[in-house]
Amino acid sequence: MAAAIFPPRPLPPLPAGGGRGRGIPGKGAGAPAPQTLPEGCGWAAAPGEAGVSPRGRGSSKMLPTTLVNSRSQGNGALSPRDAARHTAGAKRYKYLRRLFHFRQMDFEFALWQMLYLFTSPQRVYRNFHYRKQTKDQWARDDPAFLVLLSIWLCVSTVGFGFVLDMGFFETIKLLLWVVFIDCVGVGLLIATLMWFVSNKYLVKQQNRDYDVEWGYAFDVHLNAFYPLLVILHFIQLFFINYVIISDSVIGYFVGNTLWLIAIGYYIYVTFLGYSGE
């Protein structure tokens, strides 16, 4: 028995005004509203700048900020359990706990960040923006970068002591100085200073509900410290015995140039971190 074939039913004509009142995309009143970022994913404009989307032309003028009291997100209010997970103490506890679980760390991604901090730092900070959209925080939640940086600190300091023909205890003393003074101590000071200045002077008055995370400020310091460490503790080693210590004009020029490049790169990477690149 052959099946009956029915002709296709014609579609109703499109109403005037591009689907007005029926929710059909068009130019009428029924067109859907443009999508916006969820609450808590704000970018506070720097003083004197308009609030442009981070994807727009003015993204270099934005500050990476977080809602101070994010009571709601999406279409409903956060439960007390979910709100507790977004506190600074909970994020810090989760970060420190992952330090003892190496299988949960993404070392491949951390190596990718270290590579692009030299070639394209903007891509590294763009990933911070993606983390804010997915995990609701700017600071790193994976300590893999900190672990690799610590290993590089130890290896480079041992190499520095070997090139300068330092003793065992002198090398250990240099290592402790580099880790706890140059990296951690100066990092805490600079991160706290930049965190205070950003929240005090760089966030617009009408955006006081948003602030810059202190953990993100410390991550910016680590991002800027890594290139400085490579330049002064690795590249400089090839010039110490033959050029820099030669007590000549060329030695002074090479040594000061390396320090100028390292400090300039530190300032540049820090500027990218607070400009929202």
CA 175 to chain centre: 27
pLDDT value of residue 81: 52
- Residue 55's contacts (CB-CB under 8 Å, 6 or more residues apart) are none
Tokens matching residue 12: 């109703």
- Give the number of domains in the chain: 1
* Residue range 125-134: mean pLDDT, rounded: 87
pLDDT value of residue 209: 61
**Residue 200 lies in domain:** 88-276
In three-state secondary structure terms, 43 is: strand
Residue 71 has pLDDT above 90, yes or no: no
Question: Which residue type sits at 163?
Answer: V
pTM: 0.69
In three-state secondary structure terms, 62 is: strand
59 inside domain: no
pLDDT value of residue 29: 43
Residue 105 has pLDDT above 50, yes or no: yes
Distance between CA atoms of 184 and 170, rounded to whole angstroms? 20
199 inside domain: yes
Q: How many residues does the chain have?
A: 277
156 inside domain: yes
143 inside domain: yes
